[in-house]
Chain A
């Protein structure tokens, strides 16, 4: 499975915000890749840089104050950083599309669904007639499981429910058959029963159309149910990366462990929840040493002085923690996983 083509390869990406109170490295030297047809999760708490990462890929970082200050974002062999706005517009929608948390703010309330979808289609398919575009819109709405697709084109966004609006956004995003879909907290604003519908839809489309999905979320449950591989971010850095199964069975970074244990389990009642002491750091507030050291129960002197690198604890598992220096941990779980 390692031989699959890397459709998106982010190398040493840095995105910095230049604010009145100084430089804020929101994304701080991160490396990861997304393979063909894969669902990769990026998980982390508020301010960890997961959304800025996705905006950087799309070339949508608000500038000023934000700026990509280093690294490469390679899509299909081509570096997206440094492309002109015109070239970038060709990539967006055609190759990489994005959906957001709150579909209402991404849809224009003054235009009908049909209007907005046809506009999007005609921008990318220059030679098409309006009628062709409309047919394509109906086809897409059916694909995402919306009933009465024809009459839906005449509806305004406020006439739809939150779940339906998110389906419309997915339909619009997939209109040009992009290779990559970036979904930034796509179900956070939805109720659980609707969330289950949307996640199922995304998994179906991933299988049917082969669209690779980069799913950004704070919800470990969503990750466990949807993603093949996970990247955990903390304070602008990647602190752990592994296949989903390994992250949950054998989390290595103390932060990942703590995070997993903090989630109340619906199946068994724990007497007391594990909690990570301290607060979630504001972006840019810690710039030296291990970013997690102040909240870590295992922290020792070195953690406050140097920033650990990502140690490869197994072929497929990387952890940014000095506990794994000298490659000393390769657990049974890992060996079993790699053999299978």
Chain B
């Protein structure tokens, strides 16, 4: 595994305007992704976890420019995706493909599997029909289906098989990066394991880089080399998956990990149950957005937004508990009051 970043995201923002009244006046913004920076190395898997509304899916869509970023840079393979024209971006999508959550909704029910898989090749200019058909058959076999499945329609497949088709479709253009948004959460446990194993095999075989977006912390740990945790549009912690799961620093990550039920009745864990709900993203708390639920809340947390800062090698956290600058900040704050 090399360590050159294939994708480098800086200060990415996606704000959705909240409109009101007859003339649609913008009265505020939902900061779905708010100043997020990260990188993904070639050949690795970056997991992005978080609860509903944290901005993980929006991040994935903005990277693909399925949603236009409000601000920020997305450097992929030497190009800034955020500043490409629509046409240039369309061509670049050959290298970045996406796998979606719902295998029932993301395959056109009126098209045969063959047609669905051929489509990306047509879009990206493979004009030889024979070659396209050959590739369809080849990739069906690669994802564990059979060449004769090309003649069938999506409803003739089970959920797990459909997700295999979704993965095959993403692979058709030989992409470098695959963004998988909750690819296994609609599947039964026994099928989920099959699809995860398939994704790992394909990664090795085609030297793929994955961004794996999911809410299931067990699944993310299994597949990811590094993991980023998001809360209300911000990245609160990023680390090697061993580090993050072994020694989580952010109080939110700690609570999140302790909340996951472990399939082992003998496992004694310290359960931190955090009170309250996720705040409304249209009206997030001031300062650190987690302070309304945080057991270690300090004065500064309600006033100053903590920045993501590296603690140990590759382990970054956005929390005032770890800011050596806390004292200075407080003094500064007191001075300004």
Chain A, Cβ-Cβ closest to B54: A191
Q: Is the CB of A224 within 8 A of B259?
A: no
A338 interfacial by beta-carbon distance below 8 Å: no
B245 interfacial by beta-carbon distance below 8 Å: yes
A71 interfacial by beta-carbon distance below 8 Å: no
B197 CB contact (under 8 Å) in A221, A244, A273: A273
Q: Is the CB of A196 within 8 A of B193?
A: no
Q: How far is the CB of B104 from chain A (nearest CB, A)?
A: 12
Q: Is the CB of B255 within 8 A of A263?
A: no
Q: How far is the CB of A12 from chain B (nearest CB, A)?
A: 27
| Residues 185-203 of chain A, each 1 if its beta carbon lies under 8 Å from chain B, else 0 | 0000001111111011000
A327 interfacial by beta-carbon distance below 8 Å: no
A124 interfacial by beta-carbon distance below 8 Å: no
B217 CB contact (under 8 Å) in A192, A225, A259: A192
Q: How far is the CB of B214 from chain A (nearest CB, A)?
A: 11
Q: Which residues of B contact A164 (CB under 8 A)?
A: 277
* Residue of A196, A218, A226, A258 contacting most chain B CB atoms (<10 Å): A196
In the assembly, what is the distance between CA of A225 and CA of B196, in Å?
25
Instruction: Tell which of A105-113, A127-135, A274-282, A300-308 binds the partner.
Output: A274-282
Give the dominant DSSP class at A's interface: helix
Q: Is the CB of A262 within 8 A of B189?
A: yes
B330 interfacial by beta-carbon distance below 8 Å: no
Q: Which residues of A contact B51 (CB under 8 A)?
A: 191-193
In the assembly, what is the distance between CA of A287 and CA of B196, in Å?
30
Chain A, Cβ-Cβ closest to B217: A266
* Residue of A194, A258, A260 contacting most chain B CB atoms (<10 Å): A194
| Residues 152-195 of chain B, each 1 if its beta carbon lies under 8 Å from chain A, else 0 | 00000010110000000000000000000000000011111110
In the assembly, what is the distance between CA of A193 and CA of B273, in Å?
7
Chain B, Cβ-Cβ closest to A46: B188
A76 interfacial by beta-carbon distance below 8 Å: no
Instruction: Tell which of B78-86, B90-98, B218-226 binds the partner.
Output: B218-226
| Residues 251-290 of chain A, each 1 if its beta carbon lies under 8 Å from chain B, else 0 | 0000000111011111101101111110110000000000
In the assembly, what is the distance between CA of A272 and CA of B222, in Å?
8
Q: Is the CB of B256 within 8 A of A193?
A: yes
Q: Which residues of A contact B298 (CB under 8 A)?
A: none
A155 interfacial by beta-carbon distance below 8 Å: no
Q: Is the CB of A273 within 8 A of B265?
A: no
Interface pairs (6), CB distance under 8 Å: A191-B215, A248-B264, A263-B193, A264-B218, A267-B245, A267-B267
User: Beyond A193-B51, A267-B267: 6 further Cβ-contacts under 8 Å?
Assistant: A192-B256, A222-B261, A224-B265, A244-B265, A272-B197, A280-B191
